[in-house]
Amino acid sequence: MTSMLDPVRFDAPLVNPANSGLWAVTAWSDTTEPLRWLPAGVEIRRWNHGFGDGFGVWAAAWNAAESDLDPAEDVKLAGERPEPLPAFAAVTTWAADACDLLAPSRDETRTRAAQIHRLREPVAVEEQFAARMLDDLDSPAAAAADLVAAIGLLDEALAITNTLGVIHARPRWLSVAAKQNLLVRSGTVLKTPSGHTWVFGGGYTEVLEDTVIATSPTFGWRGQVSVRTAEDVVNNRFHAVAERSLVVGYEALIGAVTITGGSGEGEG
């Protein structure tokens, strides 16, 4: 016998974003003011990286006379301020939903648009950010047979800067990193044994593939999420769009390593 009753409807509860990717480690500046960075992005001035000839080790004797110095070698005034990276462009993310014009449907439409945006925005921003990191590479990524060797190379690159940085990788490397004792939990943040911050971004999967990249800490500027609505009376439709503009950037890209040994299964 076929039942004519409708199935019981259950609304899945609205879940929070995983908050384990780029979003969680970025130092955000939230604003309700006009988004002055929207037209041309943000140019980050360098204070901690890119010294070039602005540092050296004095090779002459401590008591050398001026006549003993070589103007081409023994000079301490060759430093020039490093040029910033090209400006980081703003990204605008959006999510939409639509239903009929009844009052309950309107509330549902607004909620759906906002929740879709809330969950999908971090991953979409990571995709854009990953592409920017690859663009900033001034030489091909180094090669390493496995994740341990890759992190060793990035540790050395970061150690030369004498700063702590962020290591960006696709999520498949998280379990490998755990197996190889490369994860140290610090509150809700994952660190490497040397103290650098891991970002296993869902948006990195298709863009970075098996390349792991180290940068300086990330900064972000974002406006408020706005939900705009419109009525289509002719077609009995109520539309809602949630959107926001934001920028994510860094002072320096430190290095990149491509892992050539596959996904790491069976390592160790």
pLDDT at residue number 156: 98
Q: Is the distance from CB of 154 to CB of 167 less than 8 angstroms?
A: yes
Mean pLDDT computed over 91-115: 96
Whole-prediction pTM: 0.90
pLDDT at residue number 263: 60
Percent of the chain exceeding pLDDT 90 equals 76
Q: CA–CA separation, 14 vs 11, rounded Å?
A: 9
Please tell me which residue, 2 or 181, carries the higher pLDDT value.
181
Those residues whose C-beta lies under 8 Å from the C-beta of residue 17, and which sit 6 or more positions away, are 23, 118, 119, 122
Residue 39 Cα to chain centre, angstroms: 21
- At 268, the pLDDT band (50, 70, 90 cuts) reads very low
Mean pLDDT computed over 56-77: 79
Report whether pLDDT(265) > 60. no
Mean pLDDT computed over 85-91: 96
Please name every residue paired with 169 in a beta bridge, in sequence order, or none if there are none: 200
Please tell me which residue, 265 or 9, carries the higher pLDDT value.
9
Q: What is the rounded radius of gyration, in angstroms, for the C-alpha atoms of the chain?
A: 25
- At 142, the pLDDT band (50, 70, 90 cuts) reads very high
CA atoms within 13 A on the CB side of 86: 8
Report whether pLDDT(24) > 90. yes
Terminal-residue alpha carbon distance, the chain: 58
Q: What does residue 248 show for φ and ψ, rounded to 5 degrees?
A: -130, 135
Residue holding tokens 């050395």? 156
Q: CA–CA separation, 193 vs 260, rounded Å?
A: 22
Mean pLDDT computed over 70-99: 87
pLDDT at residue number 219: 97
Mean pLDDT computed over 3-28: 89
pLDDT at residue number 78: 66
Residue (of 240, 215, 209) closest to 225 by Cα position: 240
